[in-house]
């Protein structure tokens, strides 16, 4: 191959590669800010919410290393709604690979031992079947990181959550006695090590700082089964209601605000959402958003 | 006269080493597999114990109940009855360790076989008699000396944690020199091995094993010769076996090598002094004999053989000792008032019954997924030393887990399904309001409440008013224990953000297994106890 041909090919190839994101950028005005889709099958819902936002190609590029962060906090089954629905996690992993991701990693630092929660939640098996890596949290990979938060200046973070190209947050919507609800922004405590339980002394502020630091590419809120009482780990099936809805959006504040509505709460009831909005992290007035809300 | 060693017996000796290696590996693999298996139920990882007739006998006599799995010990007895102590020589993993180190010490000239013509081999029979007499009075302390208990306990609480520590130091070094990819693989591997790294008495229990191994510097297989009560029991059974040593008088050159090199002081030469109760059939003498004069022919019908000289006086003394020791082992304040720290594993029998059956093997401590089960020191009185107790500061009792009850080899912890286990209360939680963050400072926390696994939660939250020094009032949510719902799992204590001495802690009061260690009358649920009291 001649040098000239090579340069030409590189130039053309580069242009071609650049075209698609460019097109999306132009089209994004037409795309909804948030997708709220109700239906019977969690996996289908996961694919549908992402498609509604323009497809996974909008978020994940060819060769990306992606981290999918579900809530795998507790030694509970999917029916108990303490951990993210495994089918949703699996569907998202598949979408990432379809969009050309080089590697997809699924992990969480749980409250009960990871060996248990990874299994009983069904998430490890589901994610692995889709080709993801599901490593146990490794304390050797903890690093004290400057978070640049207003309250939380630095903390031990698993570098797995930092050394990736894209990060997708997949929380489940649950009751919590301190923050009232735990959804996307609370989910980041699962990326931390150290004595993270002490963060409860300023939990709302910690959540806002952490969410701003991790700033996910996409948040998919699993509200298929939601836990109304005895959160965040529940236990009884009577604490759970079938809501059969998934929410997705880039604005993580808006996604949590939408999630609150399933519990008949608004952003005004949730201190951390007010704080996040004041900081300009996202929108809590859902009327200002273009929402694709439907049932399939 | 041909001067030639017996090829046949050298092959047998080699096979014996292979057998020892195989059984030690099996024992070790089963021990390594004694951890959370990724599901709720674990297989028979404790099966070695059930082949142990000493544990079968002592728990049977002490508790006056027969644990069905011990039927397997009959196999060991049968083998010993017909073939002698082959189990000691070919199978016992602790015996293999001793034989290996004896070999090592001899090769390194640290140990020179000495003239063995002493009667010290009789010690172990006195040990056995002392222990057995104790069991007549329901005192079961055989676990301190039983080879399987001793080995499992030492490995689980000392050796494996030390290995784990070594590995994690090595892995830490890998990360420091930036070979993190290798480190990642090793971390994930050790995560699957799931070795509990923290044991309060780990150092002492490992040191004890080391000490017992070092005894091989004095005599080969010192433990097996002089101390092991299981060896003594099998020695008694072996007396009439069909594998008797024979020296071919025509070939024998009376060099005495066999007797000097005998691993267990069975005195092969002269032939009529050979003690069938001491021989473990390691084949050392037969393989070593320069003229191949030693054989072990299989012969039906018994032939009188020399026995260890047990003095009747000392036997009677031993049994008196065993009986006299009983009350001393029971000198403990906890006979009248329950020990607050003695939080037994879920399924543990009422304390008296538990102590009759527990053989202190440490299987439960090995399998505990949170490392919370620890060997006791003073908490259960002298007879209860090294029995299991939950130390929630180290690890809590996992809600959907009954593994300790499944691996207990004697039924001291009653086997429970997951459903049964979640109903068992092992203690009750208490709040130290002087240390609790909301109660003391008025700041928010609720960590204990969020971790409480029962539903509805045993920790309720109340809004309280905490007056600050400047007169302002903070109104945080503060924890309040519902002692009826609390099962004493201790996750609240374990996760409490007051990291040194948790502001919430569990004591044994209210445990389902006890009739007396109860808090409030209405806490006792009618007919709710799986133990039928």
**For A221-280, what is each residue's pLDDT tens digit?**
999 999 999 989 999 999 999 999 999 999 999 999 999 999 999 999 999 999 999 999
The mean predicted confidence, pLDDT, of chain B is: 92
Q: How far is CA B287 from CA B10, B15, B104, B262, B387, in A?
A: 5, 12, 18, 11, 43
Nearest residue on chain B to A237, judged by CA atoms? B455
pLDDT tier at A7, thresholds 50, 70, 90: low
At residue A2, does pLDDT exceed 80?
no
**Mean pLDDT value across residues B494-514:** 96
At residue A281, does pLDDT exceed 70?
yes
CA–CA distance, B479 with B430 (Å, rounded to integer): 10
Superfamily of domain A32-295: LarA, N-terminal domain (3.40.50.11440)
Q: Residue B209: what pLDDT? A: 97
At residue A175, does pLDDT exceed 60?
yes
Name the one residue in this structure whose structure tokens are 């020191």. Answer: B377
**Mean pLDDT value across residues A11-19:** 52
Q: Residue B488: what pLDDT? A: 97
CB nearest to B455's CB, from A114, A115, A236? A236
Which residues are within 8 A (CB) of B481 and not within 5 positions of it... i.e. 6 or more apart? B428, B429, B430, B431, B458, B459, B460
Question: Is the separation of the CB atoms in A237 and A151 below 8 Å?
Answer: no
DSSP codes joined into one string, B39-67: SS---STTHHHHT-HHHHHHHHHHHS---
Q: Which residues of B touch A (CB under 8 A)?
A: 36, 38-39, 171-172, 175, 180, 183-184, 187-188, 191, 194, 369-370, 398-401, 437, 443-447, 449-451, 453-457, 461, 477, 495-497, 499
CA–CA distance, B333 with A203 (Å, rounded to integer): 45
CA–CA distance, B4 with A250 (Å, rounded to integer): 86
> Which tokens in the block code for residue B83?
């073939």
> Which tokens in the block code for residue A189?
């405590």
Name the one residue in this structure whose structure tokens are 């579900």. Answer: A70
H or E element in which residue B390 lies: strand B388-390
- Is A112 an 8 Å CB contact of chain B? yes
Name the one residue in this structure whose structure tokens are 């050298």. Answer: B10
Question: Is the separation of the CB atoms in B85 and B231 below 8 Å?
Answer: yes
Residue B92's nearest CA partner among B233, B194, B269, B296 is B233
CA–CA distance, B133 with B325 (Å, rounded to integer): 10
Q: Do B450 and A136 touch (CB under 8 A)?
A: no
CB nearest to A138's CB, from B187, B194, B495? B187
B499: which chain A residues are within 8 Å (Cβ-Cβ)?
195
Q: Residue B308: what pLDDT? A: 80
Q: Do A234 and B477 touch (CB under 8 A)?
A: no
Nearest CA distance, A294 vs chain B (angstrom) = 34
At residue A13, does pLDDT exceed 80?
no
Task: Count the neighbouring beta carbons within 10 Å of the beta carbon of residue B346.
Answer: 29
Lowest mean pLDDT among A27-31, A136-140, B145-149, B191-195: A27-31
B451: which chain A residues are within 8 Å (Cβ-Cβ)?
111, 233
CA–CA distance, A199 with B447 (Å, rounded to integer): 10
- Please, how many CA atoms are within 13 Å of residue B68, restricted to the half-sphere of its CB? 2
**Mean pLDDT value across residues B176-181:** 88
**Mean pLDDT value across residues B237-263:** 90
At residue B315, does pLDDT exceed 60?
yes
Nearest residue on chain A to B498, judged by CA atoms? A198
Nearest CA distance, A50 vs chain B (angstrom) = 32
CA–CA distance, B444 with B469 (Å, rounded to integer): 17
Question: Is the separation of the CB atoms in B124 and B225 below 8 Å?
Answer: yes
> Which tokens in the block code for residue B24?
């030690």
Query: How confident is the model over A112-159, as pLDDT tens digits?
Result: 999 999 999 999 999 999 999 999 999 999 999 999 999 999 999 999
Domain boundaries, chain A: 1-30, 32-295
Alpha helices in B428-513 (DSSP H): 437-441, 447-451, 491-495
Q: What are phi and psi of A275, to 5 degrees?
A: -60, -45
A233: which chain B residues are within 8 Å (Cβ-Cβ)?
450-451, 453
Which residues are within 8 A (CB) of B38 and not within 5 positions of it... i.e. 6 or more apart? A115, A119
Nearest residue on chain B to A236, judged by CA atoms? B455
Please name every residue paired with B474 in a beta bridge, in sequence order, or none if there are none.
B466
> Which tokens in the block code for residue A160?
């797995």
> Which tokens in the block code for residue B90?
């070919």
Q: What are phi and psi of B247, to 5 degrees?
A: -105, 130
Compute chain B's Rg from CA coordinates.
27
Q: Residue B191: what pLDDT? A: 85
B461: which chain A residues are within 8 Å (Cβ-Cβ)?
177
Question: Is the separation of the CB atoms in B256 and B114 below 8 Å?
Answer: no
CA–CA distance, B421 with B107 (Å, rounded to integer): 52
Residue B411's nearest CA partner among B16, B175, B58, B67 is B67
**Going by DSSP bridges, is the β-strand pair B473-474/B466-467 parallel, antiparallel, or unpaired?**
antiparallel
Query: How confident is the model over A69-80, as pLDDT tens digits?
Result: 999 999 999 999
Distance of CA A61 to the CA centre of its chain: 17
Q: Residue A24: what pLDDT? A: 47
CA–CA distance, B442 with B420 (Å, rounded to integer): 39
DSSP codes joined into one string, chain A: --HHHHHHHHHHHHHHHHHHHHHHHHHGGGS-SEEEEE-S-HHHHHHHHHHHTT-GGGT--TT-EEEEEE---SS--GGGTSS--HHHHHHHHHHHHHTT-SEEEE----SS-HHHHHHHTSHHHHHHHTT-B-PPP-GGGEEEEE---SS--EEEEEGGGTSSSEEEEE-EEEEETTTEEESTTGGGGGGB-SSGGGGGGGHHHHHHHHHHHH--SEEEEEEEEEE-SSTTT--SGGGEEEEEEEEEES-HHHHHHHHHHTTT--GGG-HHHHHHHHTTS----GGGS-EEEEE-
CA–CA distance, A221 with A226 (Å, rounded to integer): 11
**Mean pLDDT value across residues B298-318:** 79
Q: How many inter-chain contacts (A to B, CB under 8 Å) are there?
A: 89
Q: Residue B1: what pLDDT? A: 47
Name the one residue in this structure whose structure tokens are 């039928």. Answer: B532
Sign for the pseudo-dihedral over CA of B257, B258, B262, B268: negative
pLDDT tier at B299, thresholds 50, 70, 90: confident
Question: Is the separation of the CB atoms in B32 and B56 below 8 Å?
Answer: no
Q: Do B446 and A119 touch (CB under 8 A)?
A: no
CA–CA distance, A43 with B72 (Å, rounded to integer): 51
Query: How confident is the model over B282-296, as pLDDT tens digits?
Result: 999 999 999 999 999
> Which tokens in the block code for residue A287?
């009327």
Query: How confident is the model over B386-409, as pLDDT tens digits?
Result: 999 999 999 999 999 999 999 999
CA–CA distance, B453 with B476 (Å, rounded to integer): 22
Q: Residue B81: what pLDDT? A: 93
Q: Most A CBs within 10 Å: which of B189, B197, B450, B453, as the mutation test of the A interface?
A: B450
CA–CA distance, B285 with B305 (Å, rounded to integer): 17
Sign for the pseudo-dihedral over CA of A232, A235, A239, A241: positive
> Which tokens in the block code for residue B457?
């939660």
pLDDT tier at B526, thresholds 50, 70, 90: low
Alpha helices in B281-379 (DSSP H): 284-288, 312-329, 351-357, 363-367
At residue B158, does pLDDT exceed 60?
yes
CA–CA distance, A186 with A208 (Å, rounded to integer): 9
Q: Do A140 and B180 touch (CB under 8 A)?
A: yes
At residue A23, does pLDDT exceed 50?
no
**Mean pLDDT value across residues A44-60:** 97
b/e A41-55 (16+ beta carbons within 10 angstroms → b): ebbebbbbbbebbbb
Q: What is the ipTM of this complex?
A: 0.88
The 3-state DSSP class for residue B474 equals: strand
Task: Count the neighbouring beta carbons within 10 Å of the beta carbon of residue B470.
Answer: 5
Cis peptide bond upstream of B381, omega within 30: no
Query: How confident is the model over B188-218, as pLDDT tens digits?
Result: 888 889 999 999 999 999 999 999 999 999 9
CA–CA distance, B242 with B262 (Å, rounded to integer): 20
CB nearest to B453's CB, from A136, A178, A235? A235
A176: which chain B residues are within 8 Å (Cβ-Cβ)?
450
DSSP state of B456: S
Q: Residue A170: what pLDDT? A: 98
Query: How confident is the model over B406-441, as pLDDT tens digits?
Result: 999 999 999 999 999 999 999 999 999 999 999 999
**Mean pLDDT value across residues B222-226:** 95
Question: Is the separation of the CB atoms in B159 and B209 below 8 Å?
Answer: yes
A197: which chain B residues are within 8 Å (Cβ-Cβ)?
447, 495-497
Sign for the pseudo-dihedral over CA of A225, A228, A232, A237: negative
Q: Is B281 left (phi over 0), alpha (psi -120 to 50) or beta?
A: left
Q: What are phi and psi of B374, to 5 degrees?
A: -130, 150
Q: Do A230 and B496 touch (CB under 8 A)?
A: no
CB nearest to B454's CB, from A177, A232, A235? A235
CB nearest to B400's CB, from A75, A111, A202? A75
> Which tokens in the block code for residue B374?
């620890």
Q: Residue B118: what pLDDT? A: 78
Nearest residue on chain B to A204, judged by CA atoms? B444
Q: Do A178 and B477 touch (CB under 8 A)?
A: yes
């Amino acid at each position: 191959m001649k040098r000239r041909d090579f340069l030409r090919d590189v130039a053309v190839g580069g242009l071609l590669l650049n075209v698609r994101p460019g097109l999306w950028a132009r089209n994004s005005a037409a795309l909804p800010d948030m997708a709220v889709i109700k239906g019977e099958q969690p996996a289908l819902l996961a694919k549908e919410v992402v498609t509604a936002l323009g497809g996974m190609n909008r978020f994940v590029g060819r060769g990306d290393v992606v981290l999918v962060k579900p809530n795998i906090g507790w030694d509970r089954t999917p029916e108990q709604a303490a951990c993210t629905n495994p089918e949703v996690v699996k569907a998202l992993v598949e979408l990432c690979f379809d969009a050309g991701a080089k590697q997809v990693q699924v992990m969480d630092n749980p409250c009960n031992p990871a060996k248990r929660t990874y299994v009983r939640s069904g998430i490890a098996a589901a994610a692995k079947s889709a080709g993801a890596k599901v490593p146990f949290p490794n304390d050797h990979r903890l690093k004290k990181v400057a978070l640049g938060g207003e309250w939380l200046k630095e903390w031990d973070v698993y570098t797995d959550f930092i050394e990736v190209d894209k990060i997708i947050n997949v929380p489940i919507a649950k009751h919590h006695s301190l923050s009232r609800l735990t959804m996307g922004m609370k989910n980041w405590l699962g990326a931390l090590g150290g004595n993270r339980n002490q963060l409860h002394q300023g939990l709302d502020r910690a959540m806002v700082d952490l969410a701003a630091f991790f700033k996910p590419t996409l948040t998919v809120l699993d509200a298929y089964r939601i836990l109304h009482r005895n959160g965040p780990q529940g236990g009884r099936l009577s604490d759970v209601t079938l809501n059969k809805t998934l929410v997705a959006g880039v604005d993580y504040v808006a996604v949590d605000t939408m999630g609150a509505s399933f519990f008949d709460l608004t952003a005004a009831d949730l201190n951390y959402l007010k704080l996040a909005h004041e900081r300009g992290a996202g929108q809590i007035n859902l009327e200002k958003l273009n929402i694709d809300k439907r049932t399939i | 006269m041909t001067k030639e060693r017996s090829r046949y017996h050298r092959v047998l000796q080699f096979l014996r080493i292979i057998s020892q290696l195989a059984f030690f590996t099996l024992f070790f693999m089963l021990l390594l597999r004694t951890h959370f298996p990724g599901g709720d139920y674990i297989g028979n990882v404790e099966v070695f114990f059930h082949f142990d007739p000493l544990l079968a006998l002592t728990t049977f006599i002490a508790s006056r109940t027969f644990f069905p799995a011990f039927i397997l010990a009959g196999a060991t007895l049968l083998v010993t009855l017909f073939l002698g102590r082959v189990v000691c020589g070919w199978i016992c993993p602790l015996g293999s360790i001793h034989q290996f180190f004896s070999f090592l010490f001899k090769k390194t000239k640290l140990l020179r076989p000495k003239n063995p013509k002493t009667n010290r081999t009789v010690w172990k029979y006195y040990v056995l008699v002392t222990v057995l007499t104790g069991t007549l009075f329901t005192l079961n302390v055989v676990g301190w000396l039983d080879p399987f208990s001793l080995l499992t306990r030492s490995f689980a609480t000392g050796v494996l944690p030390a290995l784990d520590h070594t590995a994690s130091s090595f892995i830490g070094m890998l990360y420091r020199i930036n070979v993190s990819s290798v480190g990642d693989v090793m971390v994930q591997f050790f995560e699957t091995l799931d070795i509990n790294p923290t044991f309060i008495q780990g150092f002492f229990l490992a040191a004890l094993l080391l000490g017992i191994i070092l005894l091989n510097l004095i005599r080969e297989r010192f433990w097996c010769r002089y101390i092991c009560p299981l060896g003594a029991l099998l020695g008694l059974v072996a007396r009439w076996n069909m594998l008797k040593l024979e020296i071919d008088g025509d070939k024998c050159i009376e060099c005495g090598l066999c007797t000097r090199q005998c691993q267990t002081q069975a005195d092969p030469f002269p032939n009529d002094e050979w003690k069938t109760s001491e021989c473990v059939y390691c084949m050392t003498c037969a393989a070593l004999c320069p003229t191949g004069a030693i054989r072990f022919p299989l012969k039906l019908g018994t032939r009188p053989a020399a026995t260890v000289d047990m003095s009747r006086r000392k036997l009677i003394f031993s049994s008196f000792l065993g009986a006299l020791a009983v009350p001393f082992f029971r000198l403990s304040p906890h006979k009248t008032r329950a020990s607050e720290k003695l939080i037994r594993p879920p399924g543990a029998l009422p304390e008296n019954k538990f102590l009759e059956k527990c053989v202190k093997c440490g299987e439960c401590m090995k399998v505990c997924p949170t490392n919370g089960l620890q060997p006791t020191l003073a908490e259960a009185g002298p007879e209860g030393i090294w029995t299991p107790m939950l130390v929630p500061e180290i690890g809590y009792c996992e809600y959907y887990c009954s593994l300790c009850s499944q691996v207990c080899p004697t039924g001291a912890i009653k086997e429970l399904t997951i459903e049964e286990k979640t109903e068992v209360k092992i203690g009750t939680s208490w709040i130290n309001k002087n240390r609790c963050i909301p109660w003391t400072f008025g700041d928010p926390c609720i960590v204990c409440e969020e971790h409480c696994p029962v539903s509805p939660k045993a920790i309720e939250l109340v809004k309280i008013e905490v007056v600050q020094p400047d007169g302002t009032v903070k109104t945080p949510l503060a924890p309040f224990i519902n002692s009826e719902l609390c099962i004493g799992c201790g996750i609240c204590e374990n996760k409490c953000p007051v990291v040194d001495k948790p502001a919430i802690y569990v004591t044994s009061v209210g445990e389902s297994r006890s009739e007396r260690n109860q808090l409030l009358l209405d806490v006792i649920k009618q007919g709710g106890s799986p133990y039928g009291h």
